[in-house]
């Protein structure tokens, strides 16, 4: 006699975005509705472009990692203080664009996502959290150097 295990598998497609950004607007959200659960949220201004002319991409995130929520809750006053600089190496999942109507009735768009990881947190230049990495690889969020492929040897054609 054989037993067949027919457990349903959940299949997901994950889009993860990693980068360095300023963490702003920490808030606890208590949504309306009986089945809705309270959650933490932040807005992250991700840095991009040349270091001489930095540009920002803002992503409004719901924090889906309990440890990250607790860590940021400990530093809520610094995050919400406009005179403090809170910089994080963040992992955001499943970003998407969402439109909204502004106060002047014009339409605008924003990017939303889920904050699922935090590798480092600095407040005013001081590291207050550093995630231990299992692979002990580089933590600076810089791309690894690409090895140059060796030049291909010329192919000799047989003489006919």
88/63 Cα distance (integer angstroms) = 14
Residue 43 in domain: yes
152/74 Cα distance (integer angstroms) = 56
Residue 65 in domain: yes
Supply the pLDDT for residue 42.
Answer: 97
Residue 155 in domain: no
Residue 6 in domain: no
Q: What are the residue ranges in the chain where pLDDT is below 70?
A: 1-8, 134-160
Between the CA of residue 124 and those of 51, 81, 130, what are the distances in Å? 18, 11, 15
Pairing of strands 55-63, 107-123: parallel
- CATH number of 75's domain: 2.40.50
Is the pTM here over 0.75, yes or no?
A: no
Residue 84 in domain: yes
Residue 157 in domain: no
- Structural domain of 78: 16-29+37-129
Q: Domain count for the chain, please give it.
A: 1
Residue 114 in domain: yes
Residue 86 in domain: yes
């Amino acid at each position: 006699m054989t037993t067949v295990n027919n457990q349903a598998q959940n299949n997901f497609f994950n889009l993860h975005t990693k980068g360095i950004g300023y963490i702003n607007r920490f808030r606890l959200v208590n949504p309306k509705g009986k089945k809705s659960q309270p959650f933490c949220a932040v807005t992250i201004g991700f840095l991009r472009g040349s270091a001489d002319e930095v540009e920002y991409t803002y992503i409004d995130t719901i924090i889906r990692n309990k440890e990250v929520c607790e860590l940021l809750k400990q530093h809520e006053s610094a995050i919400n203080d406009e005179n403090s600089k809170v910089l994080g190496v963040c992992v955001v999942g499943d970003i998407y664009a969402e439109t909204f109507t502004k106060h002047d009735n014009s339409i605008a768009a924003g990017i939303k996502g889920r904050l699922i990881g935090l590798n480092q947190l600095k407040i005013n230049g001081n590291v207050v959290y550093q995630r231990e990495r299992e692979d002990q690889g580089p933590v600076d969020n810089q791309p690894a150097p690409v090895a140059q492929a060796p030049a291909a040897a010329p192919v000799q054609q047989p003489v006919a």
